[in-house]
Structure 1
């Protein structure tokens, strides 16, 4: 099978411009609400030029989601079985919250895909994502069995961390509307969540 020719500098640049524009459009409108015309307009390229790089709206969406999955899972991969259990889990909370702060569009893109039933990434969820979560849940379960952390269902502990951290990206308007004053909620959220999980995890 012939290897595809490497992309030129212009091709790499335009691909990046398209993906960046698509991230804005998809995170605002979801997959169903987004159109190729919107993405083309946001990228500053013509629709035929866009279709030269990606054959369809779905191809752009899948490209974004594939890159996102790898980035999104990296903090969980870093959970070190040889580290201090409470520090490792609290550190994971901190990393997930900082990702919500730094990558809000990516978080909303992923949330929109999940709400729609994950039609384009279900195989990744049931495959690599499940394998990684099961692996780290076994580590957390082992810590609990050894009395190094308070006993909690490890899968639901991971789910709760996802929910409490990604909330600040997915519901940013709600959070800022309630808190008011234009303040950045993330520093207060980090202090609250790291303290909350540390207290919940300390062995009794």
Structure 2
């Protein structure tokens, strides 16, 4: 049994450090080659350890992938959790859009890995998507509907609003090479994220402003 799955054995500091090295290496490999295209040998090499040593901590690729995906989803959902029903709707949504865009800038590997998992049907993640993710989106969609009912923002489908925010912000991570190629050297640097933020503010906040 691998060190990370033995409930009867306390994990030492060194073991936790080794596990973190493996997870970091696996994130790099998975984000480059996808889960199916990656091998334990590649991950072990990236982690600077032998394959048998890696398998002491994680017995399979699936065992390595599970905690990585759990962390990614937790990180991805944190800004949505902070959407406050008592807050001013447009600033609340602006803050959410900005934070999602910052995540695309700061966590491009995680975004690409998550997107790849969705494309392959999320076989190891289906339960979380149908429960934790759905419950949170249902909760926040209810908040958005409440804002609409009080005339705070224009009426629209709150679920598709959330989907649109996800797709437009994560585009800058998942298609970063395309974005930089099209923008060119002058506009494809770090400033592209601030340019994107200004445009998305205009797109969403203007569209959501209540009609007079």
TM range (shorter): over 0.9
Alpha-carbon offset, residue 142 of structure 1: 1.1
CA–CA distance in structure 1, aligned partners of residues 96 and 151 of structure 2: 20
Aligned length: 203
Of residues 67, 80, 84, the one that matches 1:80 is 84
For 1:111-137, what per-residue CA distance to the aligned partner results, in whole angstroms no more than 9, with x for missing partners? 000000010101100001000001000
Query: Does residue 109 of structure 2 align to residue 105 of structure 1?
Result: yes
Of residues 192, 201, 204, the one that matches 2:208 is 201
Query: Does residue 177 of structure 2 align to residue 177 of structure 1?
Result: no
Q: Between 23-32 and 189-198, report the one with greater CA deviation.
A: 189-198
Pairs within 5 Å for 1:95-134: 95-134=99-138
Q: Which residue in 2 is equivalent to 1:188?
A: 195
CA–CA distance in structure 2, aligned partners of residues 108 and 183 of structure 1: 19
Q: Which residue in 2 is equivalent to 1:61?
A: 65
Alpha-carbon offset, residue 3 of structure 1: 5.1
Change in 2 beyond 3 A, CA 1:32/1:68: same
Alpha-carbon offset, residue 180 of structure 1: 1.0
Q: Which residue in 1 is equivalent to 2:98?
A: 94
CA–CA distance in structure 1, aligned partners of residues 145 and 28 of structure 2: 39
Query: Does residue 148 of structure 2 align to residue 144 of structure 1?
Result: yes
- The alignment partner of 1:66 has SS state of helix
Of residues 18, 34, 37, the one that matches 1:33 is 37
RMSD of equivalent CA atoms: 1.1
Q: Which residue in 2 is equivalent to 1:71?
A: 75
For 1:3-44, what per-residue CA distance to the aligned partner results, in whole angstroms no more than 9, with x for missing partners? 543321211111110000000000111110010000001000
Query: Does residue 21 of structure 2 align to residue 17 of structure 1?
Result: yes
Instruction: State the 4+ residue runs in structure 1 displaced beyond 6 angstroms.
Output: none
TM-score by length of 1: 0.97
List runs of 5+ in structure 2 lacking aligned partners.
1-5
